[in-house]
């Protein structure tokens, strides 16, 4: 059974704090993605990675960075959290090749920045 896990379900942080969101997948997938989901805006891609130590900017990378030191782990970093980064953050992974566009999602992290 495919599994994508995220380190926290709920997080509350203060403005200016550095925030780390962790994502781990156990499916040996090359591709990993970070999205944020906001009402009326849907899922927006922040960053993605096609391989270890490789990263590509998505549609809204400003204020975020990522790290992929191991194949199974993809971290999202908010360098200095701001209130407009309050959102639901979703991690996903996929396997290139057959049904490569099929992304498997984690349960999400609800982040509140005060």
List interacting residues with another protein (CB under 8 A).
4, 31, 33, 40-43, 45, 48, 50, 58, 90, 92, 96, 99-108, 110
d(CA 43, CA 39): 9
How far, CA to CA in Å, does 104 sit from each of 31, 34, 52, 79?
A: 10, 12, 18, 26
Compare residues 19 and 32 and give the one whose CB is closer to another protein: 32
CB of 37 to another protein, least distance (A): 9
SS3 59: coil
Compare residues 90 and 113 and give the one whose CB is closer to another protein: 90
CB of 80 to another protein, least distance (A): 26
Q: Which helix (H) or strand (E) holds 38?
A: strand 31-38
């Amino acid at each position: 059974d495919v599994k994508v896990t995220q380190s926290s379900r709920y997080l509350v942080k203060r403005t200016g704090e550095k925030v780390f969101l962790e994502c781990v997948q156990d499916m040996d997938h090359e591709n990993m993605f970070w999205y944020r989901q906001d009402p009326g805006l849907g899922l927006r891609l922040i960053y993605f990675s096609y391989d270890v130590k490789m990263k590509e900017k998505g549609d809204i990378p400003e204020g975020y960075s990522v790290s992929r030191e191991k194949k199974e782990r993809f971290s999202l970093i908010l360098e200095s959290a701001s209130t407009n980064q309050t959102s639901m953050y979703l991690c996903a992974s996929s396997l290139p090749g057959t049904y490569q566009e099929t992304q498997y999602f984690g349960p999400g992290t609800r982040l509140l920045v005060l």
